[in-house]
Amino acid sequence: MVSVSCITFDHGRYLRQALEGFLGQKTDFRYEVLIHDDASTDDTVSIIREYAERFPDIIRPMYEEENQYSKGISNISGVFNFPRARGKYIAMCEGDDYWSDPLKLQKQVDYMEAHPECSLCAHAAGIVSDDGAFRSETAIRPFTESRVLKPEEVISKKTNLPTASLLFRTRYASILPQWYFDCPVGDIPLQLFMLMNGSVYYMDEAMSMYRMGRTGSWGEMMDREALEKAALRWEKHYQAMERLYGCFDTDTEGRWHDAVEDALKRQRFHIDLKEGRTKAALDPGNRKYLEELPKAEAGLMKLKARAPFAYTALQSIYHLVRGGR
């Protein structure tokens, strides 16, 4: 019934938790776990082999000798896992995240089976820090009730639908457009394409956990590059997202053009902040996006934009106090 798509790269510290989350699902149907390892350099491969030997009817691994991401293949799931899927549905979860609810798959499949017009089902999620010291069970909650989302809400939203929450109909995986494969991230183009093929349902239940601050994760690398003033990387990312939304807008004949423009403005705002252009926080046109940030972060951005010296002094005091603990 379900093919779980899991991609891994140096996830040895976390992979067992992800695998146990898959294997702990309580369902009245069969499912398989498709694991693609992108030439890991730690003990990820040995862990996968161990579980594949223990659960040969469930775990279906694929191992790369060369890292495919470094060769320009950004959407590993779509290229290597989706074509192998034998299930009616595909569920997503990367090797450093995990499912926290043993009924997750059953709940989502039950809804999809009862609603053939639905192409994608998602849900809320929690977050856990890399070292496990911080944990919040309901931190990623894009919406506050279970319901069918408006198309505009899928296209432009302040909080993305967690990747480990996505479950969609496998038949659409064979007709993914080129703009899905060209995008540097896989979850947003997947959501946009599913919207073109049916409705999107959101369950307001936190049934997975997102691992934040992992060394080598996409978010962590992008933050480090920003700190190193690698603004070109951010600009390339924005240009890629601009192309993505442009292709989607063309393919949908401008049906949701305003939402597309809103999504791009939000992207531009966040990239401006990451690149150090904090004046964006004072632009009246960005007020909506500024208010979407946590209050403390929004306040700091405004302080940095209006009084950079005061912001620097406050930052120095903070690090001094932290260092003295």
For residue 217, give the amino acid letter. Answer: S
CATH code assigned at 92: 3.90.550.10
Q: What is the pLDDT of residue 294?
A: 81
How many H-runs (helices) and E-runs (strands) does the chain carry? 13, 10
Give yes or no: residues 6 and 79 share one domain: yes
State the pLDDT at residue 311: 57
Q: Does 168 lie in the same domain as 55?
A: yes
State residue 304's pLDDT score. 75
Both structure tokens of 145:
């009730």
Q: Which of 165, 182, 212 is the last residue of a domain?
A: 212
β-sheet bridge partners, residue 34: 5, 60
Q: What is the pLDDT along the chain (325 residues), one digit of tens a residue?
A: 999 999 999 999 999 999 999 999 999 999 999 999 999 999 999 999 999 999 999 999 999 999 998 888 889 999 999 999 999 999 999 999 999 999 999 999 999 999 999 999 999 999 998 877 788 887 899 999 999 999 999 999 998 999 999 999 999 999 999 999 998 888 999 999 999 999 999 999 999 999 987 544 445 444 554 455 556 777 888 899 999 999 999 999 999 999 999 999 999 988 888 777 878 878 888 888 888 888 888 787 887 788 776 656 656 665 555 555 4
State the alpha helices, DSSP H only, in the chain: 15-23, 44-54, 76, 104-114, 151-155, 178-182, 187-197, 218-227, 231-251, 257-274, 287-292, 295-306, 308-323
CA distance 154 to 93: 19
* CA pair distance 321, 324, nearest whole angstrom: 5
Per 3-state DSSP, what percentage of the chain is helix, strand, and coil (rounded to 5)? 50, 20, 30
| CA–CA separation, 246 and 217 (whole Å) | 27
Distance in angstroms (rounded) separating the CA atoms of residues 73 and 63? 15
Q: Are 260 and 205 members of one domain?
A: no
d(CA 227, CA 288): 26
Q: Which domain holds residue 183?
A: 2-212
Rounded to the nearest 10 degrees, the angle between the axes of helix 257-274 and helix 231-251 is 180
What is the pLDDT at residue 316?
Answer: 64
Residue at a domain's end among 186, 212, 238? 212
Domain count along the chain: 2
Q: Which amino acid appears at position 184 of this protein?
A: P
pTM of the model: 0.87
Query: Which helix or strand (DSSP H or E) is residue 120 part of?
Result: strand 118-129
271 and 183 part of one domain? no
What is d(CA 313, CA 83) in angstroms, rounded to the nearest whole number?
54
User: According to the model, what pLDDT value does residue 296 have?
Assistant: 80
For residue 91, how many other CB atoms are within 10 A of its CB? Answer: 27
269 lies in the same domain as 202: no
51 and 179 fall within a common domain: yes
Are 35 and 106 within one domain? yes
